[in-house]
């Protein structure tokens, strides 16, 4: 305590014979200012309710009479640290934490209390906080995750966990840590100095136990009693290594396959077990020695072996198969392959099941060639389908043979022609032949048949285009006037070769074959005249070189034209020349045509005037008939309705009887036109409108229309008309007994007339 006081207080009196010493026993030297030391020490977190005494400032200028005043400035002055103005004692106002701030720098002044004048210069000093063990070790995370390969050797490092202590590392043992394992023996251990966790047990197998929880403790004070500690948990997982080979649980598998399974289709799955995981459990399946009908592939997702069809199955040919399958790991660990067989074997038996399969054509597709112009019924080709279950019948899908050019024998599949074929119309015919199982019509198979029509030289060559050829009047002999070419719709194997020729006796033109399927038309003489002949017709014979040779004659029209000196056409119309010796034949024909036309016009005009002078329908005023006749009794008379036969309306079956109007005798300028029959149940309105249109457009009809409107009575009465028109003048000659046969509807009428006739006879 005495030494601490000496460290805090600077003495000005050297006559006492005693000097303050430092911590090493050396005599302390007073500074130039000669009134204080520059450093104080204070323990952190000092316990106590009162203000903690830190130290004392004292100046040589202080005589103890109260004239000196001490002033403190700097870090925490007035808040954390207070100074007694009279005595210079320094106190801390609250507990201090070294981990927050380890040292405070302050300044002290000595002032005259009355004048505030500085008695001593400003002096800087430090208050250093001494550390105590008040912080426990802490790990960065509460839980650590680590892994180590299974079957690792003892001492294999797993992970290093490190704790930190906020106490002073340079002072005492407050921050010196020691690591220990609280949970996890005997599998793991920990290095006490650096916290490295290592394996402590050999042969740890992941397939037995995979996860471990290890608790690590870090303790300060070098692990001594009273030290503080902290813990963390480390979750350790054993990672997999390929230490387990794949094994079949059952070394014999039986698979059933339907014979209709398509090539590449799966028929079964087999699986081996491997306790490893990840790539260590990846397996590969194969057929030992291979197989021509089956193959096995590995499903990478499920690690199963999938048996697939490599060649089509046939129940009728072979029904049972057997082969051996091998499975092995794709990745091997060299540390564990010694003494272990990392593969396994199993036997697979496949049984083929029969199905009612459709017919199968021997070829797909068929390509058949046939010559054109082959007669109907000629042989084209044969298609054949095989079905081991039953017999087949053949047919042509008529949607592919709309013109019905071909036929097929339903038993043997022979295709024949129904019509002659023309290659120029169609070079190929694509039809579909259907084979149907007789016992089960739902089992069908179709195959495309491509029929190629071979060319036969059956078309003659002709001009390639329409030529507009002219020759100048002043042309000279040997002048080229046109180059012609030809086309042929046939296609010979060696190409076309055309031969052109004209009559050798033609005095005007000749032809020169250019040997390249073209020919030149050349004048044989000069001096053509439009007056003598303005147009020449030149027949050209064109022949081909195929068998049989075909030829045709095409006519080349050559016009005679007036040309300039360079041969450019100016005019091809014949000139109008004056008559010299008389009329030419052309002029006579033209005059005759004009006369004939004039005569036809006169005849037509006369006929039209005669038609306009027809008598009207109503000849005299005595004619009581009217355009519209109305009756209030039960029906009208037939004689008043001859303009339109109303009987036709009542009974459509008699519509074919055409009657002429009695009041007009038509002139038969045009032949009689029979009206079109009307179907049964035709609407009366449509019938009347149709007849009106026929009469409107009929040239033999009168120039006006008559329309009689009647109610529709039905199909007609057996009694015919009851009209009084055109009845006999006297009733004595009438016999009304037939009225009794008309039925109850006419009973009253029969009684009236039959009774009247009896009275008259009496």
Q: Using one digit for the tens of pLDDT, what is the confidence trace for 647-689?
A: 555 554 444 444 444 444 444 444 444 455 555 555 778 888 8
Report whether 109 contacts 118 (CB < 8 A).
yes
Q: Could you give the percent of the chain with pLDDT greater than 70?
A: 76
Torsion-angle region of residue 110: left (phi > 0), alpha (psi -120 to 50) or beta? beta
> CA neighbours within 13 Å on the CB side: how many for 675?
21
Concatenated DSSP letters of 307-352: EEESS---TTT--EEEEEEEEEESS--TTT-TT---EEEEEEEEEE
Please tell me whether the peptide bond between 365 and the residue prior to it is cis, using omega within 30 degrees of 0.
yes
Using CA atoms, how far apart are residues 169 and 162, in angstroms rounded to an integer? Answer: 15
Cβ neighbour number for residue 310 with a 10 Å cutoff: 15
| pLDDT at 581 (0 to 100) | 47
Torsion-angle region of residue 94: left (phi > 0), alpha (psi -120 to 50) or beta? beta
Q: Which residues is 369 bridged to in the sheet? A: 452
Which uninterrupted H or E stretch holds 199?
strand 196-199
125-134, 212-221, 745-754: which has the highest mean pLDDT? Answer: 212-221
Band (159; pLDDT cuts 50, 70, 90): very high
| pLDDT at 747 (0 to 100) | 77
| pLDDT at 18 (0 to 100) | 40
Concatenated DSSP letters of 144-185: EEEEEETTPPTT-EEEE--EE--S-TTSTTTT--EEEEEE-T
| pLDDT at 33 (0 to 100) | 41
Looking at residue 726, the DSSP 8-state letter turns out to be: T
Length of the chain: 762
Q: Using one digit for the tens of pLDDT, what is the confidence trace for 41-97?
A: 666 665 444 677 777 888 888 877 878 888 888 887 878 888 888 888 888 887 777
Closest CA to 428 of 370, 379, 490: 370
Q: Is the pLDDT of residue 756 over 80?
A: no
Q: Is the pLDDT of residue 180 over 50?
A: yes
Using CA atoms, how far apart are residues 519 and 512, in angstroms rounded to an integer? Answer: 5
Q: Could you give the percent of the chain with pLDDT greater than 90?
A: 23
Cβ neighbour number for residue 732 with a 10 Å cutoff: 9
Which uninterrupted H or E stretch holds 755?
helix 747-761
Structure token digits, residue 359: 């017919």
Concatenated DSSP letters of 10-54: -----TTS---B-TTSPBPPP-SS-S--SEEEEETT---SSPEEE
Q: Is the pLDDT of residue 102 over 90?
A: no
| Helix locations, 545-661, DSSP H | 585-612, 646-650
Place of tokens 């009581």: 624
Structure token digits, residue 576: 């109008």
| pLDDT at 686 (0 to 100) | 82
Q: Using one digit for the tens of pLDDT, what is the confidence trace for 694-705?
A: 877 777 666 655
C-alpha angle with apex 515: 513 to 521, nearest 5 degrees?
25
Using CA atoms, how far apart are residues 496 and 43, in angstroms rounded to an integer? Answer: 124
Closest CA to 630 of 645, 642, 640: 640
Q: Using one digit for the tens of pLDDT, what is the confidence trace for 531-558?
A: 888 889 989 998 887 777 878 888 899 9
Q: Exposed/middle/buried for 458, CB within 10 Å: 0-12, 13-18, 19+?
A: middle
Please tell me whether the peptide bond between 224 and the residue prior to it is cis, using omega within 30 degrees of 0.
no
Place of tokens 């197989």: 291
Structure token digits, residue 572: 């091809």
Band (734; pLDDT cuts 50, 70, 90): low
Q: Which residues of 102-113 are buried (b: 16+ CB within 10 A; e: fewer)?
A: eebebebbbbee
Cβ neighbour number for residue 315 with a 10 Å cutoff: 18
Looking at residue 688, the DSSP 8-state letter turns out to be: H
| pLDDT at 565 (0 to 100) | 79
Using CA atoms, how far apart are residues 590 and 599, in angstroms rounded to an integer? Answer: 15
| pLDDT at 338 (0 to 100) | 67
Q: Is the pLDDT of residue 253 over 60?
A: yes
Which uninterrupted H or E stretch holds 69?
strand 68-74
Q: Is the pLDDT of residue 315 over 60?
A: yes
Q: Which of 84-98, 215-229, 241-255, 659-673 has the lowest mean pLDDT?
A: 659-673
Torsion-angle region of residue 592: left (phi > 0), alpha (psi -120 to 50) or beta? alpha
Q: How far is CA 153 from the centre of its chain?
A: 60
Report whether 129 contacts 100 (CB < 8 A).
no
Using CA atoms, how far apart are residues 401 and 406, in angstroms rounded to an integer? Answer: 7
Taking the alpha carbons of 535, 538, 539, 545 in that order, is the dihedral positive or negative?
negative
Looking at residue 606, the DSSP 8-state letter turns out to be: H
13-22, 576-585, 745-754: which has the highest mean pLDDT? Answer: 745-754
Q: Is the pLDDT of residue 434 over 90?
A: yes
Q: How far is CA 48 from the centre of its chain?
A: 86
Q: Using one digit for the tens of pLDDT, what is the confidence trace for 352-408?
A: 998 877 888 988 899 998 888 888 888 989 999 988 777 889 999 999 989 899 999
Q: Which of 100-114, 230-244, 592-606 has the lowest mean pLDDT?
A: 100-114
Which uninterrupted H or E stretch holds 754?
helix 747-761
Closest CA to 12 of 44, 35, 46, 33: 35
Sheet holding 266-271, edge to edge: 266-271, 304-309, 294-299
Q: Is the pLDDT of residue 642 over 80?
A: no
3-class SS letters over 353-420: ECCCCCCEECCCCEEEEEECCCCCCCEEEECCEECCCCCEEEEECHHHCCCCCEEECCCCCEEEECCC
Q: Which residues of 48-66 are buried (b: 16+ CB within 10 A; e: fewer)?
A: eeeebebbbbbbbbbeeee
Q: Which of 192-206, 368-382, 558-572, 621-635 has the lowest mean pLDDT?
A: 621-635
| pLDDT at 323 (0 to 100) | 95
DSSP reduced 3-state for 237: strand
* β-pair type (304-309, 266-271): antiparallel
Report whether 69 contacts 113 (CB < 8 A).
yes
């Amino acid at each position: 305590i005495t030494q601490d006081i000496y460290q805090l207080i600077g003495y000005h009196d050297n006559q006492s014979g005693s000097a303050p010493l430092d911590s090493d026993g050396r005599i302390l030297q007073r500074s130039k200012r000669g009134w204080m030391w520059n450093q104080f020490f204070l323990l952190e977190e000092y316990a106590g309710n009162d203000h903690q005494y830190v130290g004392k400032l004292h100046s040589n200028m202080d005589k103890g009479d109260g004239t000196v005043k001490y002033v403190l400035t700097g870090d925490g002055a007035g808040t954390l640290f207070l100074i007694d103005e009279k005595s210079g004692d320094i106190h801390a106002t609250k507990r201090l934490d070294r981990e927050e701030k380890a040292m405070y720098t302050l300044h002290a002044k000595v002032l005259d209390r009355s004048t505030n004048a500085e008695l001593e210069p400003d002096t800087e000093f430090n208050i250093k906080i001494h550390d105590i063990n008040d912080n426990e070790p802490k790990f960065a995370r509460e839980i650590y995750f680590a892994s180590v390969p299974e079957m690792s050797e003892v001492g294999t490092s797993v992970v290093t966990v490190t704790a930190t202590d906020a106490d002073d590392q340079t002072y005492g043992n407050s921050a010196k840590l020691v690591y220990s394992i609280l949970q996890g023996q005997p599998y793991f251990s920990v290095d006490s100095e650096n916290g490295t966790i290592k394996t402590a047990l050999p042969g740890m197998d992941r397939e037995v136990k995979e996860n471990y929880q290890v608790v690590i403790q870090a303790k300060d004070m070098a692990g001594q009693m009273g030290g503080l500690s902290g813990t963390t948990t480390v979750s350790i997982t054993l990672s997999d290594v390929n230490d387990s080979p794949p094994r079949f649980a059952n070394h014999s598998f039986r698979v059933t396959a339907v014979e209709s399974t398509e090539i590449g289709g799966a028929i079964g799955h087999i699986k081996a077990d491997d306790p490893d995981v990840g790539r260590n459990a990846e397996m590969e399946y194969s057929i030992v020695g291979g197989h021509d009908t089956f193959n096995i592939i590995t499903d990478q997702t499920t690690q199963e072996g999938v048996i697939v069809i490599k060649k089509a199955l046939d129940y009728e040919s072979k029904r049972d198969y057997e082969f051996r399958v091998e499975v092995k790991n794709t990745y091997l660990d060299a540390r564990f392959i010694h003494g272990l067989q990392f593969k396994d074997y199993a036997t697979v038996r496949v049984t083929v099941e029969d199905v009612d399969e459709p017919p199968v054509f021997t070829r797909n597709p068929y390509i058949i060639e046939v010559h054109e112009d082959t007669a109907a019924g000629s042989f084209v080709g044969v298609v054949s389908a095989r079905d081991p279950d039953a017999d087949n019948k053949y047919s042509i899908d008529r949607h592919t043979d709309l013109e019905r050019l071909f036929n097929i024998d339903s038993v043997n599949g022979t295709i024949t022609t129904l019509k002659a074929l023309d290659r120029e119309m169609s070079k190929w015919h694509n039809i579909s032949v259907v084979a149907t199982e007789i016992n089960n019509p739902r089992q069908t198979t179709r195959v495309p048949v491509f029929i190629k029509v071979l060319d036969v030289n059956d078309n003659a060559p002709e001009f390639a285009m329409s030529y507009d050829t002219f020759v100048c009047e002043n042309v000279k002999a040997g002048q080229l006037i046109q180059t012609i070419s030809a086309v042929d719709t046939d296609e010979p194997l060696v190409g076309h070769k055309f031969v052109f020729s004209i009559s050798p006796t033609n005095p005007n033109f000749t032809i020169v074959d250019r040997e390249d399927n073209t020919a030149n038309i050349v004048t044989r003489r000069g001096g053509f005249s439009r007056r003598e002949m303005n147009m020449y017709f030149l027949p050209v014979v064109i022949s081909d070189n195929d068998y049989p040779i075909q030829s045709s004659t095409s006519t080349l029209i050559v016009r005679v034209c007036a040309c300039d000196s360079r041969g450019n056409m100016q005019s091809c119309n014949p000139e109008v020349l004056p008559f010299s010796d008389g009329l030419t034949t052309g002029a006579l024909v033209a005059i005759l045509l004009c006369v004939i036309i004039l005569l036809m016009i006169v005849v037509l005009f006369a006929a039209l005037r005669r038609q306009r002078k027809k008598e009207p329908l109503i000849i005299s005023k005595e004619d009581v008939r009217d355009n519209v006749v109305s009756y209030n009794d039960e029906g009208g008379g037939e004689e008043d309705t001859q303009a339109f036969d109303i009987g036709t309306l009542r009974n459509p079956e008699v519509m074919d009887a055409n009657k002429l109007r009695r009041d007009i005798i038509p002139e038969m300028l045009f032949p009689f036109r029979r009206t079109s029959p009307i179907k049964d149940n035709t609407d009366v309105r449509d019938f009347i409108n149709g007849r009106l249109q026929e009469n409107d457009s009929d040239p033999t009809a009168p120039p006006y229309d008559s329309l009689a409107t009647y109610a529709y009575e039905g199909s007609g009465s057996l009694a015919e008309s009851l009209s009084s028109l055109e009845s006999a003048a006297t009733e004595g000659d009438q016999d009304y007994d037939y009225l009794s046969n008309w039925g109850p509807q006419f009973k009253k009428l029969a009684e009236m007339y039959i009774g009247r006739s009896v009275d008259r006879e009496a």
